[in-house]
Structure 1
């Protein structure tokens, strides 16, 4: 599974990426989790399964959905509580649920 977290290039997102990678590894699943600003997303739109948006940039949701339109990509805003507490396992669960819908 390929997951991109869209952020404003903050420190908390890089911590969350690391925790999500660890959670995936503990589950024995392969997950390619990366963070990037919205401006770089267009280059990856065809090579991602899920795009999760940091709560602080939730206003970008419509723009991001437009960028990945035509691709099989699930898009949602990261649960604010899970983001704030850097609960990588919860955000990974959110990504898995989105992809299974």
Structure 2
């Protein structure tokens, strides 16, 4: 599964990206993830299966869905803040099943 994380500038989501990669490595899962800012997703979404957004840009979720046609969902604030990889992966797997 290839996940695109979108946030305001790609910085805080970059931290979550590193945590997700470590989570997958521990479990032997082969997924990939990239983090970009709002200004970049339209240029790269074609290379991904699903899009997840940080809470700070969840107001743009509808626009992102319309622009990309990919399954999209916002990461809940608490899960995002603490980097709850298990809950985030539950959302990711649900989205991937919609593809």
Normalised by the size of structure 2, how large is the TM-score? Answer: 0.87
Partner secondary structure for residue 4 of structure 1: strand
Of structures 1 and 2, the one with the larger relative CO (CA 8 A, separation 6+) is 1
Q: 1:47-62 alignment to 2 at 5 Å? A: 47-62=47-62
Q: Which residue of 1 aligns with 2:75?
A: 78
User: Structure 1's 53 and 64: CA in aligned 2 closer, same or farther, altered over 3 A?
Assistant: same
Deviation at 1:92, TM superposition (A): 2.3
Count residues with an aligned counterpart.
98
Q: Give unpaired runs (5+ residues) of structure 1.
A: none
Q: Aligned partners of 1:27, 1:74: CA distance in 2, in Å?
A: 24
Q: Aligned partners of 1:12, 1:64: CA distance in 2, in Å?
A: 19
Asked whether the 8 Å contact 2:4–2:51 carries over to 1, the reply is yes
Q: Aligned partners of 2:42, 2:86: CA distance in 1, in Å?
A: 27
Normalised by the size of structure 1, how large is the TM-score? Answer: 0.85
Give the CA RMSD over aligned residues. Answer: 1.5
The answer to whether 1:87 aligns with 2:84 is yes
Asked whether the 8 Å contact 2:55–2:77 carries over to 1, the reply is yes
Q: Give unpaired runs (5+ residues) of structure 2.
A: none
User: Structure 1's 43 and 10: CA in aligned 2 closer, same or farther, altered over 3 A?
Assistant: closer
